[in-house]
Amino acid sequence: MKVTWLGQSGYVFEIGGKRLLIDPFYSDIVEQLQGLKRLMSPPIPMEELLPDLIFITHNHIDHFDPIALPEIHKLYPSVPIAGPESVMKKAKEMGFDENVLTAMPKGTSQSFGPIGIKTVAAYHSDPFSVGCLIEAEGKCIYYSGDTLLTDTLFEEITASANLPIEVVFIVINGRLGNMNVQEAIELTVKLKPQTAIPMHYGMFAENTEDPQLFLNGCVAKGIKAIEATLGNEYEL
């Protein structure tokens, strides 16, 4: 199982010869609409993404990129696009081929070849936001999506996991409806993964965090933590 960070919360997972693309943010739409200049360029051309499945966690422009995602859909028109209700609604409004759209509200399980995805709770300003559990090759990964830490989030995640969670990808920026570093460490410690990887930082100067704080906090609790390097492939 391999993973490549695309920046913000975007990743490509390669599992069993299939490629899962999550939340690719490629455009300057945030600068156009909000004046925030992106600090990371997309590390992989769209033509090299080669997804077999696209999963979008919610309808915010740095996750459902309204410029880039239609271009990706045009390049890969037969590739399924899965996500919660807000993602489906936006995709239909934008004229995506409805034959490839797969609705995955919270609590949904779908198998796409060797990749199993279960949508789990996320508490964010898009009320339909989800995180997900990726189950493949006998392993389970938790991907938080954008979310606050609530009193129930840990229980909702673990209640959906059939396998021990071995890897956690978790937001740390602490702004605009996301948990902060200390909250991300707290949840990670409860989940007891072998490896933790922070995300949702470094893209905008106005909305970022020092990942080293998360790494240090995890290591202090006996959890291996990795800072991904933009565009580099990692073996999980």
Give the C-alpha separation, 117 to 83, whole Å: 11
Q: Using pLDDT thresholds of 50, 70 and 90, give the confidence band for residue 67.
A: very high
Sign of the dihedral through C-alpha 145, 148, 154, 157: negative
Q: Using pLDDT thresholds of 50, 70 and 90, give the confidence band for residue 50.
A: very high
Q: Quote the number of domains for the chain.
A: 1
CATH code (residue 104): 3.60.15.10
List the beta bridge partners of residue 22.
11, 55
List the beta bridge partners of residue 120.
131
- At residue 160, the pLDDT reads 97
Please state the rounded mean pLDDT for residues 210-223.
98
Element containing residue 93 per DSSP (H, E): helix 85-93
Return phi, psi of residue 214, to 5°. -70, -45
Tell me the chain's radius of gyration from C-alpha atoms.
16
Q: Using pLDDT thresholds of 50, 70 and 90, give the confidence band for residue 100.
A: very high
Please state the rounded mean pLDDT for residues 5-13.
98
Structural domain of residue 202, as residue ranges?
A: 2-235
Give the C-alpha separation, 192 to 55, whole Å: 25
The percent of residues above 70 in pLDDT, for the chain, comes to: 100
Please state the rounded mean pLDDT for residues 175-190.
98
pLDDT digits (tens, 9 = 90+) for 122-144: 999 999 999 999 999 999 999 99
Identify which of 56, 180, 69, 59 has the alpha carbon closest to the alpha carbon of residue 126: 59
Could you give the angle at the alpha carbon of 230 between the alpha carbons of 154 and 227, nearest 5°? 45
Please state the rounded mean pLDDT for residues 18-32.
98
Q: What is the DSSP letter of 222?
A: T
Q: What is the mean pLDDT of the chain?
A: 97
Please state the rounded mean pLDDT for residues 82-99.
98
Give the C-alpha separation, 160 to 23, whole Å: 22
Q: Using pLDDT thresholds of 50, 70 and 90, give the confidence band for residue 228.
A: very high
DSSP 136-199: ETTEEEEE--S----SSHHHHHHHH-SS-EEEEEEE----SS---HHHHHHHHHHH--SEEEEE
Give the C-alpha separation, 219 to 199, whole Å: 17
31, 107, 174 from 213: Cα distances, Å:
27, 32, 12
Paired tokens of 226? 């990795």
In the sheet with 165-171, reading across from the earlier edge strand, the strands are 109-112, 115-121, 130-136, 139-143, 165-171, 195-199, 224-225
